[in-house]
A and B are shown apart, each in its own frame.
Chain A
Amino acid sequence: MELEMEKVMRFMGRYSLGRDNGMGSLHFLRIKIPGGVITSEYFKGIAELSREYGRGYAEITDRQDIQLHWIEGDDALDIFERLEKMGFTTDMCGQAFPGAGHGDVRNIVGCPLSGVNKDELIDGYPVIKELTRFFTGNEDFLDLPKKFKFSISGCMYNCTRAEINDMAFIPVVHDGEIGFTVLAGGGAGKTLPGPTLAKPLRVFLSQEEVFDVAVATVEIFRDHGNRESKAKARFKYLLDQIGVNGLRNMIEKKLGRKLEDYHGDVSREWIEHTGVGEQKDERYYVCVPLIGGKLSSDIMEWYAGLAEEYGTGDLRLTTFQNLIIVNVEDKEGLLKELGKEGVVLKGIIPKWTAVGCASDFCGKTKEYHSKEIVRDIVEHLETSYPNIFVNQDFKIGVSGCPNNCGYSVIASVGLEGRLIRVNGSVKQGYDIYLRGKLENGSIGRRVAEGVPAENVVNVLNKLLEQYKIKLKNESEIRFVDFLEKLSDTEIKKLVEVT
């Protein structure tokens, strides 16, 4: 018997809903915004969807998507139809299947200032668009062993966390030519071989070569990735088995030619484009810090309106879950408008760089969820250490579980949720990780297990107080360097819960 399928089939392979398990929500909708580039018109369009179907709530994810919750299956086709008109698709959310497979190419992240950034060597956005077009709904790439994450950025800074992507293209100058080099096999999650920073492939690519190398890599992953179990199915596991040289040989074989060598430096400073900055065309960008990427439909419309009034109606989403209005001429006017509503673009850098996952909706945390902890830590830093972190950053990453969507293991101070037993009842706890970093990268070290959630800010405060004392003698020392220098015994004493 035939079902009237045209309308349904049209959306299959390009749209899906993900599973929520908390806050009374059953489904989330993760809208891919390639490179985080969006117009005010579509930002308002998504705000409307949020108002009509998602209780007026939205969040920016750490992969520059916009995520809505409380989506009913019955409304999905209408929502998909409206997204299709805007040219957006969603993640395919096949991760709930028990085995490997059903993996897709996730939203491709890029420098949120691509095209206007005065610190960029190349504009990475055109190839992001080209690859997104190629992979979207492409049946040959809808059943990868697991999801695949690309970062393509032409920015001189590491504003996309290149090292925790399956493959990252980063800009370099080689023999006077500007192009990309490649990092491969990163991933912050617990799947085998555990949290891993991507390794250099030691190749130099012209801009024109990026597309072919990206497609060849996903084909290799599709055809050679492990499908025995979910734990072994990510690309980083395959890379661990074949090595970077093995991967390079396979790519070259597919392309039918050798790639050029590149042995230069690949480490760049991990930053967010915070506050107000000048663009290459002498206009300005204004980056608004959003704690945990949280937005409401009203606020989205307000920002969209400001982007139209003070800019060219162009907005950007960042991997730190913030929002940027670009192409601003009257920056003072915009800052005044923002200030009227209490949005202040001065202050501590961690309010832009702290990241928290959606553990509340995910259902992995019982109480005191990731985004709430981020909010409280940032408030504490602003109240108790207002002057220290204005000029220096340290990364705070909070995840509800070892899947590490809030990248606890690469943060200077990372928290990873786990449920603990206190006097016979189950409560929310967090493991504490210290000293993760991407510059000459290292994975953070777990220094405490199952700290009761309500004590987490106090524990962090003990570290900060010690740091403040240290600053009296060594006025130049940064918090991250202070953490590096602590001995194991000192750490143990400081993170002990009394």
Chain B
Amino acid sequence: MQEPKLERKSEGEYTLDVRGQTCPFPQILSQLALEKLREGSILEVITDNPPSARDVPIALRKKGYEVEVKKSNGQWHIVVKK
């Protein structure tokens, strides 16, 4: 199984690709990634799993993060501000 990678896009901006992963892994991986990042960083989580697209923003907002969701080409880009 491919290990999901957290990639740095530019200064303070990161991408986490969790396509192909089912719940609860996109949520858990997003939280793990956010723990690693500095305050003010932006994390973009990419998922193609509809339940995760629904649940990850709910879980992260509950934890106090600012979250925005965009959908394009059958996948979701969940943009989280730490």
Taking beta carbons and an 8 Å cutoff, which residues of A are in contact with B? 1-5, 8-9, 12-13, 16-19, 26-27, 73-74, 76-77, 92-94, 96-98, 102, 139, 142
Across the interface, do B7 and A1 meet the contact criterion of CB distance under 8 Å?
yes
Is the beta-carbon distance between A27 and B36 smaller than 8 angstroms?
Answer: no
In the bound complex, CA of A367 to CA of B59 (Å): 28
Whether the pair A17, B23 counts as a contact (CB closer than 8 A) is yes
A96 to B55 Cα, complex, angstroms: 13
Contact across chains for A98 and B50 when beta carbons are under 8 A apart: yes
Q: Mark B20-57, 1 if CB is under 8 A from A, else 0.
A: 11111101110111001000000000001111001100
| A-chain residues with CB within 8 Å of residue B51 when the two chains form the complex | 18-19, 26-27, 96
Asked if A97 and B25 make an inter-chain contact with CB atoms under 8 angstroms apart, the answer reads no
List the A side residues contacting B4 at CB < 8 Å.
3, 5
Chain A residues closer than 8 Å to B29, beta-carbon distance = 3, 8
Indicate whether A73 sits within 8 Å of B59 (C-beta atoms), given known contacts A4-B32, A93-B23, A96-B51: yes
Question: What would 6 more interface pairs be, CB under 8 Å, given A16-B25, A98-B48?
Answer: A3-B36, A13-B1, A16-B24, A73-B24, A93-B23, A102-B20
The CA of A73 and the CA of B5, in the complex, are separated in Å by 20
Nearest Cβ on chain B to A25's Cβ, whole angstroms? 11
Q: Are B3 and A5 in contact (CB under 8 A)?
A: yes
Of the A-B pairs whose beta carbons lie under 8 Å apart in the complex, a sample of 25, sorted by A's number, is A1-B6, A1-B8, A1-B36, A3-B4, A3-B5, A3-B6, A3-B33, A12-B21, A12-B25, A13-B1, A19-B50, A19-B51, A73-B23, A73-B24, A73-B55, A76-B23, A76-B28, A77-B24, A93-B23, A96-B49, A96-B51, A97-B48, A97-B50, A98-B48, A98-B74
Q: Are B24 and A12 in contact (CB under 8 A)?
A: no
Closest to A3 in B: B32
Inter-chain contact A16/B23, CB cutoff 8 Å: yes
> Interface residues of A: mostly helix, strand, loop or mixed?
loop
Instruction: Judge whether A96 and B50 touch: CB under 8 Å.
Output: yes
Q: A13-B1, A77-B28, A96-B50 are in contact. Are A26 and B33 (CB under 8 A)?
A: no
A81 to chain B, nearest CB (A): 13
A473 to B24, CA, bound (A): 60
Task: Output the nearest chain B residue to A97 by Cβ-Cβ distance.
Answer: B49
* Pairwise interchain contact B74-A12, C-beta atoms closer than 8 A: no
Contacts of B22 in A (CB 8 A): 16-17, 92-94, 96-97, 102
Residue of A nearest to B4 (CB): A3
Task: Report the minimal beta-carbon distance from B62 to chain A, rounded to whole angstroms.
Answer: 9
Contact B14 A27 (CB under 8 A): no
A-B contacts at CB below 8 angstroms, number: 82
B-side interface size class: 20 to 34
Rounded to whole angstroms, the CA-CA distance of A1 and B51 in the bound complex is 26
Query: What distance in Å separates the Cβ of A427 from its nearest Cβ neighbour in chain B?
Result: 26
**Bound: A73/B22 CA distance, A:** 11
CB-defined contacts of A142 to chain B, threshold 8 Å: 1
- Bound-complex Cα distance A142 to B20 (A): 11
Residues of B within 8 A of A76 (CB): 23-24, 28
> With the chains together, A102 CA to B1 CA distance in Å?
12
Give min CB distance, B12 to chain A, whole Å: 13
Whole-angstrom distance from the CB of B17 to the nearest CB of chain A? 12
> CA separation between A16 and B27, bound complex, in Å?
12
- Nearest residue (CB) in B for A142 is B1
Q: In the complex, what residues of A have CB within 8 A of residue B49's CB?
A: 96-97
Nearest residue in B to A101 (C-beta to C-beta)? B20
Name the CB-closest residue of B to A92. Answer: B22
Question: How many angstroms between the C-alpha atoms of A77 and B31 in the bound complex?
Answer: 13
| Min CB–CB distance B29 → chain A (angstroms) | 7
Chain A contacts of B23 at CB under 8 A?
16-19, 27, 73, 76, 93
Decide: A8 and B1 in contact? CB cutoff 8 A: no
Assembly CA distance A85 to B8 (angstroms): 37
Set B6, B27, B48: member contacting A73, Cβ < 8 A:
B27
User: Measured between alpha carbons, how far is A41 from B29 in the docked complex, in Å?
Assistant: 32
Give Cα A142–Cα B49 distance, bound, in whole angstroms.
Answer: 16
Complexed CA–CA distance, A17 and B24 (Å): 6
Given contacts A94-B22, A97-B48, are A9 and B59 in contact (CB under 8 A)? no
List, in ascending order, chain B residues with CB within 8 A of A13's CB: 1
- Residues of the B chain whose Cβ atoms lie less than 8 Å from the Cβ of A102: 20, 22
Residues of B within 8 Å of A92, CB to CB, are 22
Smallest CB separation, A325 vs chain B (Å): 34
Nearest-neighbor residue (CB-CB) of A98 within chain B? B74
Contact of B58 with A26 in the complex, beta carbons under 8 Å: yes
Q: Are A73 and B36 touching (Cβ within 8 A)?
A: no
In the A-B complex, the 9 residue pairs with the smallest Cβ-Cβ separation, listed nearest first, are: A73-B24, A19-B51, A76-B24, A73-B27, A17-B23, A16-B22, A1-B6, A96-B51, A17-B24
- Which partner residue on chain A sits nearest B52 by CB separation? A96
